[in-house]
Amino acid sequence: MNLEFNEEDLKFKAEVKSFISKNLDKNTQSKMDNGHHLSKEELVAWQKQLNNKGWMAPNWPKEYGGTGWSVTQRYIFDEECGAASAPSALPFGVTMVAPVIIKFGTQEQKEVYLPKILSSEHWWCQGYSEPGSGSDLASLSTKAEKTEDGYIINGTKTWTTFAQYADMMFLLVRTNTDCKPQEGISFMLLNMKSPGVSVKPIITLDGGHEVNMVYLENVKVPRENLIFEENKGWTVAKYLLGHERTSIAAVSRSKKALAKVKKIANLNINGDKSLRDDNRFMDKVTKCDVRLQALEYAELKGISDDVKGIAPGPEASMLKIRGSEIQQEITELVLEASGYYAYAYQPNAMDMGNNEALIGPDWSSAAAPKYFNTRKTTIYGGSNEIQKNILAKMLLEL
Ligand SMILES: Cc1cc2nc3c(=O)[nH]c(=O)nc-3n(C[C@H](O)[C@H](O)[C@H](O)COP(=O)(O)OP(=O)(O)OC[C@H]3O[C@@H](n4cnc5c(N)ncnc54)[C@H](O)[C@@H]3O)c2cc1C
Protein backbone atom coordinates (compact mmCIF):
# COMPACT_ATOMS: atom_id res chain seq x y z
CA MET A 1 0.00 0.00 0.00
CA ASN A 2 1.19 3.53 -0.71
CA LEU A 3 0.89 5.78 2.34
CA GLU A 4 2.76 8.82 0.97
CA PHE A 5 0.79 12.00 0.24
CA ASN A 6 1.37 13.36 -3.25
CA GLU A 7 2.10 17.03 -4.00
CA GLU A 8 -1.57 17.84 -4.58
CA ASP A 9 -2.51 16.26 -1.23
CA LEU A 10 0.16 18.29 0.57
CA LYS A 11 -1.17 21.49 -1.03
CA PHE A 12 -4.67 20.55 0.10
CA LYS A 13 -3.38 19.86 3.64
CA ALA A 14 -1.93 23.39 3.78
CA GLU A 15 -5.22 24.86 2.51
CA VAL A 16 -7.24 23.06 5.21
CA LYS A 17 -4.81 24.15 7.93
CA SER A 18 -5.02 27.78 6.82
CA PHE A 19 -8.85 27.69 6.53
CA ILE A 20 -9.21 26.36 10.08
CA SER A 21 -6.76 28.83 11.55
CA LYS A 22 -8.58 31.77 9.88
CA ASN A 23 -12.18 30.68 10.52
CA LEU A 24 -12.42 28.63 13.71
CA ASP A 25 -13.55 30.74 16.65
CA LYS A 26 -10.79 30.73 19.30
CA ASN A 27 -13.23 30.27 22.19
CA THR A 28 -14.75 27.22 20.47
CA GLN A 29 -11.25 25.85 19.87
CA SER A 30 -10.26 26.31 23.51
CA LYS A 31 -13.47 24.59 24.70
CA MET A 32 -12.74 21.66 22.42
CA ASP A 33 -9.16 21.56 23.73
CA ASN A 34 -10.26 21.36 27.35
CA GLY A 35 -13.05 18.84 26.76
CA HIS A 36 -15.91 21.30 27.44
CA HIS A 37 -19.36 21.08 25.85
CA LEU A 38 -20.15 23.33 22.90
CA SER A 39 -23.49 25.12 22.68
CA LYS A 40 -25.78 24.54 19.70
CA GLU A 41 -24.97 28.09 18.51
CA GLU A 42 -21.21 27.48 18.59
CA LEU A 43 -21.48 24.26 16.64
CA VAL A 44 -23.86 25.79 14.10
CA ALA A 45 -21.52 28.81 13.68
CA TRP A 46 -18.66 26.47 12.69
CA GLN A 47 -20.95 24.41 10.41
CA LYS A 48 -21.93 27.64 8.64
CA GLN A 49 -18.25 28.47 8.04
CA LEU A 50 -17.79 25.01 6.54
CA ASN A 51 -20.88 25.44 4.37
CA ASN A 52 -19.78 28.87 3.10
CA LYS A 53 -16.54 27.24 1.97
CA GLY A 54 -18.46 24.31 0.41
CA TRP A 55 -16.90 21.86 2.91
CA MET A 56 -19.94 20.88 4.98
CA ALA A 57 -20.54 17.51 3.31
CA PRO A 58 -17.33 15.69 2.36
CA ASN A 59 -19.24 12.37 2.18
CA TRP A 60 -21.90 13.48 -0.34
CA PRO A 61 -21.71 13.24 -4.12
CA LYS A 62 -20.79 16.59 -5.68
CA GLU A 63 -24.12 16.99 -7.48
CA TYR A 64 -25.92 17.31 -4.12
CA GLY A 65 -23.43 19.78 -2.60
CA GLY A 66 -20.60 17.41 -1.61
CA THR A 67 -16.95 18.35 -1.93
CA GLY A 68 -15.92 15.83 -4.57
CA TRP A 69 -12.80 15.09 -2.50
CA SER A 70 -10.78 11.93 -2.91
CA VAL A 71 -10.73 9.49 0.02
CA THR A 72 -7.24 10.78 0.87
CA GLN A 73 -8.45 14.38 0.95
CA ARG A 74 -11.26 13.39 3.29
CA TYR A 75 -8.71 11.73 5.55
CA ILE A 76 -6.50 14.85 5.48
CA PHE A 77 -9.49 17.05 6.33
CA ASP A 78 -10.41 14.88 9.36
CA GLU A 79 -6.77 14.76 10.44
CA GLU A 80 -6.39 18.55 10.32
CA CYS A 81 -9.72 19.15 12.11
CA GLY A 82 -8.63 16.76 14.87
CA ALA A 83 -5.17 18.34 15.15
CA ALA A 84 -6.66 21.86 15.39
CA SER A 85 -9.46 20.84 17.80
CA ALA A 86 -12.11 21.89 15.26
CA PRO A 87 -15.54 20.34 16.03
CA SER A 88 -16.95 17.75 13.65
CA ALA A 89 -20.24 18.64 11.99
CA LEU A 90 -23.09 16.98 13.86
CA PRO A 91 -23.33 13.50 12.30
CA PHE A 92 -27.10 12.84 12.41
CA GLY A 93 -27.90 15.08 9.45
CA VAL A 94 -24.86 15.20 7.24
CA THR A 95 -23.33 11.75 7.84
CA MET A 96 -26.37 9.63 8.68
CA VAL A 97 -29.74 10.65 7.26
CA ALA A 98 -28.40 12.51 4.20
CA PRO A 99 -26.75 9.45 2.57
CA VAL A 100 -30.05 7.61 3.15
CA ILE A 101 -32.08 10.37 1.49
CA ILE A 102 -29.57 10.46 -1.39
CA LYS A 103 -29.80 6.69 -1.91
CA PHE A 104 -33.47 5.95 -1.10
CA GLY A 105 -35.29 9.33 -1.12
CA THR A 106 -37.60 10.76 -3.79
CA GLN A 107 -36.55 13.81 -5.79
CA GLU A 108 -38.86 15.91 -3.62
CA GLN A 109 -37.36 14.57 -0.37
CA LYS A 110 -33.88 15.39 -1.67
CA GLU A 111 -34.94 18.94 -2.58
CA VAL A 112 -36.65 19.56 0.76
CA TYR A 113 -34.09 18.12 3.18
CA LEU A 114 -30.57 18.16 1.72
CA PRO A 115 -30.20 21.98 1.41
CA LYS A 116 -31.45 22.42 5.00
CA ILE A 117 -28.83 19.96 6.27
CA LEU A 118 -26.10 21.87 4.44
CA SER A 119 -27.27 25.23 5.81
CA SER A 120 -27.78 23.85 9.36
CA GLU A 121 -31.42 25.02 9.26
CA HIS A 122 -32.42 21.50 10.29
CA TRP A 123 -30.85 19.83 13.33
CA TRP A 124 -31.51 16.06 13.19
CA CYS A 125 -31.68 13.33 15.79
CA GLN A 126 -31.77 9.53 15.50
CA GLY A 127 -34.79 7.59 16.77
CA TYR A 128 -33.69 3.95 16.60
CA SER A 129 -33.27 2.69 20.21
CA GLU A 130 -36.24 2.00 22.48
CA PRO A 131 -36.46 0.78 26.07
CA GLY A 132 -35.76 -2.95 25.59
CA SER A 133 -34.67 -2.60 21.94
CA GLY A 134 -31.03 -1.55 21.57
CA SER A 135 -28.69 -4.27 20.31
CA ASP A 136 -31.77 -6.25 19.31
CA LEU A 137 -33.11 -3.36 17.28
CA ALA A 138 -35.43 -5.48 15.14
CA SER A 139 -37.61 -6.05 18.22
CA LEU A 140 -38.67 -2.37 18.30
CA SER A 141 -42.32 -1.73 19.03
CA THR A 142 -43.06 1.96 18.30
CA LYS A 143 -46.14 1.58 16.14
CA ALA A 144 -47.18 3.48 13.02
CA GLU A 145 -50.82 2.99 12.02
CA LYS A 146 -51.78 3.85 8.48
CA THR A 147 -54.36 6.58 7.86
CA GLU A 148 -55.68 8.06 4.63
CA ASP A 149 -52.87 10.54 4.22
CA GLY A 150 -50.07 9.11 6.35
CA TYR A 151 -49.47 7.47 9.73
CA ILE A 152 -50.19 7.91 13.44
CA ILE A 153 -47.24 7.01 15.63
CA ASN A 154 -47.24 5.83 19.26
CA GLY A 155 -44.22 4.67 21.25
CA THR A 156 -41.05 5.66 23.11
CA LYS A 157 -37.55 6.26 21.83
CA THR A 158 -34.57 6.40 24.19
CA TRP A 159 -30.94 7.59 24.36
CA THR A 160 -31.84 10.10 21.65
CA THR A 161 -28.77 12.32 21.39
CA PHE A 162 -29.49 16.07 21.26
CA ALA A 163 -33.24 15.56 20.72
CA GLN A 164 -33.68 18.66 22.89
CA TYR A 165 -32.33 20.78 19.99
CA ALA A 166 -33.66 18.77 17.08
CA ASP A 167 -36.01 20.05 14.39
CA MET A 168 -36.31 16.62 12.76
CA MET A 169 -35.95 12.97 13.76
CA PHE A 170 -35.35 10.00 11.47
CA LEU A 171 -36.89 6.96 13.08
CA LEU A 172 -37.74 3.30 12.74
CA VAL A 173 -41.34 2.29 13.36
CA ARG A 174 -43.30 -0.92 13.21
CA THR A 175 -45.81 -0.97 10.36
CA ASN A 176 -46.51 -4.72 10.35
CA THR A 177 -46.57 -7.22 13.22
CA ASP A 178 -47.69 -10.18 11.17
CA CYS A 179 -44.29 -11.19 9.77
CA LYS A 180 -40.59 -11.65 10.69
CA PRO A 181 -39.59 -8.65 12.91
CA GLN A 182 -37.20 -7.22 10.27
CA GLU A 183 -39.87 -7.29 7.58
CA GLY A 184 -42.40 -5.10 9.44
CA ILE A 185 -40.25 -1.99 10.00
CA SER A 186 -40.42 1.34 8.13
CA PHE A 187 -38.06 4.33 8.08
CA MET A 188 -39.72 7.74 8.51
CA LEU A 189 -38.92 11.41 9.01
CA LEU A 190 -40.69 13.22 11.81
CA ASN A 191 -41.01 16.92 12.54
CA MET A 192 -40.09 17.32 16.23
CA LYS A 193 -42.55 20.24 16.56
CA SER A 194 -45.49 17.92 15.77
CA PRO A 195 -48.23 17.74 18.43
CA GLY A 196 -47.72 14.66 20.66
CA VAL A 197 -43.88 14.74 20.72
CA SER A 198 -42.32 15.28 24.14
CA VAL A 199 -38.64 15.21 25.05
CA LYS A 200 -37.41 14.44 28.58
CA PRO A 201 -33.73 14.68 29.54
CA ILE A 202 -31.61 11.75 30.71
CA ILE A 203 -28.79 13.17 32.83
CA THR A 204 -25.68 11.01 32.50
CA LEU A 205 -23.02 10.14 35.10
CA ASP A 206 -20.91 13.15 34.10
CA GLY A 207 -23.82 15.45 34.91
CA GLY A 208 -24.32 16.30 31.22
CA HIS A 209 -27.49 16.47 29.14
CA GLU A 210 -26.72 14.83 25.80
CA VAL A 211 -29.35 12.09 25.69
CA ASN A 212 -33.12 12.01 26.07
CA MET A 213 -36.30 9.98 26.21
CA VAL A 214 -38.68 10.91 23.39
CA TYR A 215 -42.36 10.08 23.88
CA LEU A 216 -44.60 9.89 20.82
CA GLU A 217 -48.34 10.06 21.48
CA ASN A 218 -50.67 9.97 18.48
CA VAL A 219 -48.13 11.86 16.37
CA LYS A 220 -49.27 12.45 12.77
CA VAL A 221 -46.67 11.86 10.06
CA PRO A 222 -47.64 12.63 6.44
CA ARG A 223 -47.17 9.90 3.84
CA GLU A 224 -44.46 11.89 2.03
CA ASN A 225 -42.24 11.43 5.11
CA LEU A 226 -41.88 7.70 4.50
CA ILE A 227 -38.44 6.84 3.08
CA PHE A 228 -38.26 4.05 0.49
CA GLU A 229 -41.07 1.52 0.78
CA GLU A 230 -43.33 0.63 3.70
CA ASN A 231 -41.90 -2.38 5.63
CA LYS A 232 -38.50 -1.98 3.90
CA GLY A 233 -37.03 0.16 6.70
CA TRP A 234 -34.59 -2.54 7.82
CA THR A 235 -32.71 -2.27 4.51
CA VAL A 236 -32.48 1.50 5.01
CA ALA A 237 -31.44 1.12 8.68
CA LYS A 238 -28.60 -1.26 7.85
CA TYR A 239 -27.32 1.09 5.15
CA LEU A 240 -27.29 3.95 7.65
CA LEU A 241 -25.53 1.98 10.42
CA GLY A 242 -22.64 1.25 8.04
CA HIS A 243 -22.13 5.01 7.75
CA GLU A 244 -22.31 5.46 11.54
CA ARG A 245 -19.66 2.84 12.31
CA THR A 246 -17.01 3.94 9.85
CA SER A 247 -16.93 7.48 11.27
CA ILE A 248 -16.51 6.37 14.86
CA ALA A 249 -12.75 5.49 15.13
CA ALA A 250 -11.76 9.15 15.79
CA VAL A 251 -8.03 8.54 15.20
CA SER A 252 -7.04 12.17 14.71
CA ARG A 253 -8.86 13.28 17.87
CA SER A 254 -7.22 10.50 19.88
CA LYS A 255 -3.80 11.53 18.53
CA LYS A 256 -4.40 15.06 19.74
CA ALA A 257 -5.65 13.85 23.15
CA LEU A 258 -2.69 11.50 23.62
CA ALA A 259 -0.24 14.28 22.70
CA LYS A 260 -1.86 16.25 25.51
CA VAL A 261 -1.31 13.37 27.96
CA LYS A 262 2.39 13.41 27.02
CA LYS A 263 2.53 17.16 27.69
CA ILE A 264 0.87 16.62 31.08
CA ALA A 265 3.45 13.90 31.82
CA ASN A 266 6.21 16.46 31.34
CA LEU A 267 4.75 18.92 33.85
CA ASN A 268 6.23 19.27 37.31
CA ILE A 269 3.15 18.35 39.28
CA ASN A 270 4.70 16.93 42.44
CA GLY A 271 7.50 19.26 43.41
CA ASP A 272 10.50 18.40 41.29
CA LYS A 273 9.03 15.19 39.85
CA SER A 274 6.93 14.76 36.75
CA LEU A 275 4.89 11.78 35.59
CA ARG A 276 7.59 11.14 32.98
CA ASP A 277 9.63 9.68 35.87
CA ASP A 278 6.83 7.24 36.69
CA ASN A 279 7.63 4.10 34.71
CA ARG A 280 4.23 2.53 35.32
CA PHE A 281 2.40 5.57 33.97
CA MET A 282 4.73 5.94 30.97
CA ASP A 283 4.37 2.24 30.21
CA LYS A 284 0.60 2.75 29.82
CA VAL A 285 1.11 5.87 27.68
CA THR A 286 3.49 3.97 25.39
CA LYS A 287 1.15 0.99 25.07
CA CYS A 288 -1.70 3.31 24.14
CA ASP A 289 0.54 5.12 21.65
CA VAL A 290 1.52 1.86 19.93
CA ARG A 291 -2.12 0.75 19.73
CA LEU A 292 -3.12 4.13 18.31
CA GLN A 293 -0.38 4.01 15.67
CA ALA A 294 -1.51 0.51 14.67
CA LEU A 295 -5.10 1.81 14.42
CA GLU A 296 -3.96 4.71 12.27
CA TYR A 297 -2.19 2.33 9.87
CA ALA A 298 -5.27 0.10 9.77
CA GLU A 299 -7.32 3.17 8.85
CA LEU A 300 -4.79 4.25 6.21
CA LYS A 301 -4.78 0.72 4.79
CA GLY A 302 -8.59 0.98 4.49
CA ILE A 303 -8.21 4.29 2.66
CA SER A 304 -5.57 2.85 0.36
CA ASP A 305 -7.89 -0.11 -0.46
CA ASP A 306 -10.80 2.27 -1.00
CA VAL A 307 -8.75 4.29 -3.52
CA LYS A 308 -8.12 1.01 -5.39
CA GLY A 309 -11.86 0.22 -5.33
CA ILE A 310 -11.55 -2.64 -2.79
CA ALA A 311 -14.73 -2.72 -0.68
CA PRO A 312 -14.39 -2.57 3.15
CA GLY A 313 -14.84 -5.89 4.95
CA PRO A 314 -14.70 -6.51 8.70
CA GLU A 315 -12.46 -3.43 9.12
CA ALA A 316 -15.39 -1.16 10.03
CA SER A 317 -16.07 -3.26 13.15
CA MET A 318 -12.34 -3.50 13.96
CA LEU A 319 -11.90 0.27 13.73
CA LYS A 320 -14.95 0.85 15.92
CA ILE A 321 -13.78 -1.55 18.64
CA ARG A 322 -10.17 -0.40 18.87
CA GLY A 323 -10.94 3.30 18.25
CA SER A 324 -13.49 3.43 21.07
CA GLU A 325 -11.24 1.48 23.48
CA ILE A 326 -8.38 3.92 22.85
CA GLN A 327 -10.64 6.93 23.46
CA GLN A 328 -11.48 5.40 26.84
CA GLU A 329 -7.84 4.56 27.67
CA ILE A 330 -6.81 8.17 27.09
CA THR A 331 -9.46 9.51 29.48
CA GLU A 332 -8.21 6.94 32.04
CA LEU A 333 -4.67 8.31 31.68
CA VAL A 334 -5.83 11.91 32.19
CA LEU A 335 -7.85 10.80 35.22
CA GLU A 336 -4.79 9.09 36.70
CA ALA A 337 -2.59 12.11 35.99
CA SER A 338 -5.13 14.42 37.65
CA GLY A 339 -4.93 12.48 40.92
CA TYR A 340 -6.94 14.20 43.66
CA TYR A 341 -8.08 16.98 41.29
CA ALA A 342 -10.25 14.46 39.45
CA TYR A 343 -13.39 14.83 41.52
CA ALA A 344 -15.86 12.10 40.89
CA TYR A 345 -18.83 14.46 40.80
CA GLN A 346 -18.49 17.84 39.10
CA PRO A 347 -21.84 18.24 37.37
CA ASN A 348 -21.03 21.27 35.27
CA ALA A 349 -17.31 20.82 34.76
CA MET A 350 -17.71 20.31 31.02
CA ASP A 351 -19.68 23.55 30.63
CA MET A 352 -17.57 26.62 30.08
CA GLY A 353 -18.05 29.35 32.67
CA ASN A 354 -18.51 26.87 35.51
CA ASN A 355 -14.79 26.37 35.92
CA GLU A 356 -14.34 29.13 38.51
CA ALA A 357 -15.77 26.83 41.15
CA LEU A 358 -13.27 24.09 40.34
CA ILE A 359 -9.81 23.65 41.72
CA GLY A 360 -6.78 22.23 39.98
CA PRO A 361 -5.18 23.01 36.64
CA ASP A 362 -7.29 23.64 33.50
CA TRP A 363 -6.35 20.33 31.91
CA SER A 364 -7.73 18.38 34.87
CA SER A 365 -10.97 20.29 35.40
CA ALA A 366 -13.02 18.04 33.12
CA ALA A 367 -10.98 14.85 33.73
CA ALA A 368 -13.57 12.95 35.76
CA PRO A 369 -16.69 13.94 33.77
CA LYS A 370 -14.84 13.28 30.50
CA TYR A 371 -13.84 9.86 31.82
CA PHE A 372 -17.46 9.05 32.70
CA ASN A 373 -18.83 10.50 29.47
CA THR A 374 -16.44 8.46 27.33
CA ARG A 375 -17.79 5.15 28.70
CA LYS A 376 -20.41 5.64 25.97
CA THR A 377 -18.04 4.99 23.08
CA THR A 378 -18.02 1.22 23.51
CA ILE A 379 -21.85 1.16 23.73
CA TYR A 380 -23.19 3.41 20.97
CA GLY A 381 -22.97 2.82 17.23
CA GLY A 382 -23.48 -0.91 17.86
CA SER A 383 -21.85 -2.03 21.14
CA ASN A 384 -18.35 -3.54 21.00
CA GLU A 385 -19.71 -6.95 21.98
CA ILE A 386 -22.03 -6.82 18.96
CA GLN A 387 -19.09 -5.73 16.76
CA LYS A 388 -17.15 -8.76 18.02
CA ASN A 389 -20.08 -10.99 17.05
CA ILE A 390 -19.99 -9.46 13.56
CA LEU A 391 -16.22 -10.00 13.32
CA ALA A 392 -16.54 -13.60 14.47
CA LYS A 393 -19.23 -14.27 11.87
CA MET A 394 -17.25 -12.65 9.05
CA LEU A 395 -13.77 -13.94 9.89
CA LEU A 396 -14.45 -17.30 11.50
CA GLU A 397 -17.38 -18.02 9.21
CA LEU A 398 -19.56 -18.95 12.19
C1 LIG B 1 -24.36 8.22 24.91
C2 LIG B 1 -25.27 7.43 24.03
C3 LIG B 1 -25.88 8.02 22.96
C4 LIG B 1 -26.78 7.31 22.17
N5 LIG B 1 -27.44 7.97 21.17
C6 LIG B 1 -28.40 7.32 20.48
C7 LIG B 1 -29.19 8.04 19.51
O8 LIG B 1 -29.00 9.23 19.26
N9 LIG B 1 -30.18 7.36 18.89
C10 LIG B 1 -30.42 6.02 19.13
O11 LIG B 1 -31.32 5.47 18.50
N12 LIG B 1 -29.70 5.34 20.04
C13 LIG B 1 -28.70 5.96 20.72
N14 LIG B 1 -27.97 5.28 21.67
C15 LIG B 1 -28.36 3.90 22.01
C16 LIG B 1 -27.36 2.84 21.61
O17 LIG B 1 -27.40 2.59 20.25
C18 LIG B 1 -27.69 1.60 22.47
O19 LIG B 1 -27.40 1.93 23.81
C20 LIG B 1 -26.91 0.39 22.04
O21 LIG B 1 -27.35 -0.07 20.79
C22 LIG B 1 -27.03 -0.75 23.07
O23 LIG B 1 -28.38 -1.04 23.34
P24 LIG B 1 -28.95 -1.09 24.84
O25 LIG B 1 -28.49 0.14 25.55
O26 LIG B 1 -30.39 -1.36 24.75
O27 LIG B 1 -28.19 -2.31 25.52
P28 LIG B 1 -28.54 -3.85 25.33
O29 LIG B 1 -28.77 -4.13 23.89
O30 LIG B 1 -29.57 -4.23 26.32
O31 LIG B 1 -27.15 -4.51 25.74
C32 LIG B 1 -26.74 -4.62 27.10
C33 LIG B 1 -25.36 -5.29 27.11
O34 LIG B 1 -25.47 -6.62 26.57
C35 LIG B 1 -24.58 -6.79 25.45
N36 LIG B 1 -25.25 -7.58 24.42
C37 LIG B 1 -26.49 -7.42 23.92
N38 LIG B 1 -26.76 -8.34 22.98
C39 LIG B 1 -25.63 -9.11 22.86
C40 LIG B 1 -25.27 -10.22 22.04
N41 LIG B 1 -26.12 -10.71 21.12
N42 LIG B 1 -24.03 -10.74 22.18
C43 LIG B 1 -23.15 -10.24 23.10
N44 LIG B 1 -23.45 -9.19 23.92
C45 LIG B 1 -24.66 -8.64 23.80
C46 LIG B 1 -24.33 -5.37 24.95
O47 LIG B 1 -23.09 -5.26 24.29
C48 LIG B 1 -24.34 -4.57 26.25
O49 LIG B 1 -23.08 -4.66 26.87
C50 LIG B 1 -27.03 5.96 22.44
C51 LIG B 1 -26.38 5.33 23.52
C52 LIG B 1 -25.51 6.04 24.30
C53 LIG B 1 -24.84 5.35 25.46
- State the closest ligand 1 atom to the C-alpha of 389, by its place in the atom list counted from 1: 42
Least confident of 22-26, 38-42, 205-209: 205-209
The per-residue pLDDT for range 347-366, each reduced to its tens digit, is 565 665 454 556 677 788 78
Q: 124-233 adopts what CATH topology?
A: Butyryl-CoA Dehydrogenase, subunit A; domain 2 (2.40.110)
User: Where in the chain do CATH 2.40.110.10 domains reside?
Assistant: 124-233
- State the closest ligand 1 atom to the C-alpha of 384, by its place in the atom list counted from 1: 47
* Residue range 17-21: mean pLDDT, rounded: 98
Nearest CA to ligand 1 atom 4: 159
Share of the chain above pLDDT 90, in %: 71
In this prediction, residue 378 carries a pLDDT of 96
Q: Which residues line ligand 1 (CB under 6 A)?
A: 125-129, 134-135, 159-161, 211, 376, 379-380, 383, 385-386, 389
- State the closest ligand 1 atom to the C-alpha of 132, by its place in the atom list counted from 1: 26
Q: Say how many CA atoms lie within 13 Å of 327 toward its Cβ.
A: 22
The per-residue pLDDT for range 174-202, each reduced to its tens digit, is 999 999 999 999 999 999 999 999 999 99
Nearest CA to ligand 1 atom 39: 386
Q: 248-395 adopts what CATH topology?
A: Butyryl-CoA Dehydrogenase, subunit A; domain 3 (1.20.140)
Best mutation site among 123, 213, 325, 380 for ligand 1, i.e. most ligand atoms within 8 A of its Cβ?
380
Whole-number average pLDDT of the chain = 90
Nearest CA to ligand 1 atom 51: 380
Rounded to the nearest angstrom, the distance between the alpha carbon of 382 and the centre of ligand 1 is 6
In this prediction, residue 206 carries a pLDDT of 83
Best mutation site among 37, 140, 159, 391 for ligand 1, i.e. most ligand atoms within 8 A of its Cβ?
159
- State the closest ligand 1 atom to the C-alpha of 382, by its place in the atom list counted from 1: 21
- State the closest ligand 1 atom to the C-alpha of 137, by its place in the atom list counted from 1: 21
Nearest CA to ligand 1 atom 38: 135
The per-residue pLDDT for range 228-268, each reduced to its tens digit, is 999 999 999 988 876 665 566 889 999 999 999 999 999 87
Rounded to the nearest angstrom, the distance between the alpha carbon of 371 and the centre of ligand 1 is 19
Rounded to the nearest angstrom, the distance between the alpha carbon of 244 and the centre of ligand 1 is 14
Per-residue HEC secondary structure of the chain comes to CCCCCCHHHHHHHHHHHHHHHHHCCHHHHHHHHCCCCCCHHHHHHHHHHHHHHCCCCCCCCHHHCCCCCCHHHHHHHHHHHHHCCCCCCCHHHHHHHHHHHHHHCCHHHHHHHHHHHHCCCCCEEEECCECCECCCHHHCCCEEEECCCEEEEEEEECCCCCCCCCCEEEEEEECCCCCCHHHHEEEEEEECCCCCEEEEEECCCCCCCCEEEEEEEEEEEEHHHEECCCCCHHHHHHHHHHHHHHCCCCHHHHHHHHHHHHHHHHCCCECCECHHHCHHHHHHHHHHHHHHHHHHHHHHHHHHHHHCCCCCCCHHHHHHHHHHHHHHHHHHHHHHHHHHHCCCCCCCCCCCCCHHHCCCCHHHHCHHHHHHHHHHHHCCCCCHHHHHHHHHHHHCCC
Rounded to the nearest angstrom, the distance between the alpha carbon of 387 and the centre of ligand 1 is 11
